[in-house]
Amino acid sequence: MHKSITHINILPAFLLALGLASIGFLLHSAIVQFKAMDRTVTVKGLAEQQVPADTAIWPIAFTEAGDKLDDVMAAVEKKQAAVVAFLKLHGFSDEEISLGQVAVVDKKAQQYGPEQVGLRYLVTANMSVYSQDPEKVRHASSQISELAKQGIAVSGDSYSNRIEYLFTSLNDLKPQMIEQATHNAREVATKFAHDSQSTLGKIKSARQGQFSISSRDSNSPHLKKVRVVSTIEYYLVD
CATH number at residue 74: 3.30.70.2970
Indicate whether 174 belongs to any domain. yes
3-state secondary structure of 229: strand
Q: How far apart are CA 214 and CA 226, in angstroms?
A: 7
Among 166, 183, 207, the domain boundary falls at: 166
Q: How far apart are CA 71 and CA 74, in angstroms?
A: 5
Strand partners, 48: 227
Query: How high is the pLDDT of residue 29?
Result: 42
Indicate whether 11 belongs to any domain. no
Both 65 and 160 in a single domain?
yes
Indicate whether 103 belongs to any domain. yes
Indicate whether 172 belongs to any domain. yes
State pTM to two decimals.
0.77
The CA distances from residue 231 to 42, 176, 211, in Å, are 7, 16, 13
Among 147, 166, 185, the domain boundary falls at: 166
Would you give per-residue pLDDT tens digits along the chain (238 residues)? 455 555 556 655 655 555 555 555 444 444 444 445 578 999 999 999 999 999 999 999 999 999 999 999 999 999 999 999 999 999 999 999 999 999 999 988 776 656 666 789 999 999 999 999 999 999 999 999 999 999 999 976 666 779 999 999 999 999 999 999 999 999 999 999 999 889 999 999 999 889 999 999 999 999 999 999 999 999 998 7
Both 213 and 134 in a single domain?
no
Indicate whether 33 belongs to any domain. no
Indicate whether 230 belongs to any domain. yes
Query: What is the number of structural domains in the chain?
Result: 2
The CA distances from residue 53 to 135, 217, 235, in Å, are 9, 13, 40
Indicate whether 200 belongs to any domain. yes
Both 149 and 172 in a single domain?
no
Both 45 and 114 in a single domain?
no
- Domain extent, residue 82, equals 55-166
Among 166, 191, 217, the domain boundary falls at: 166
Strand partners, 46: 229
Q: How far apart are CA 100 and CA 161, in angstroms?
A: 13
- Contact between residue 176 and residue 184 where contact means Cβ atoms under 8 Å apart: no
Both 187 and 199 in a single domain?
yes
Both 49 and 61 in a single domain?
no
Both 197 and 137 in a single domain?
no
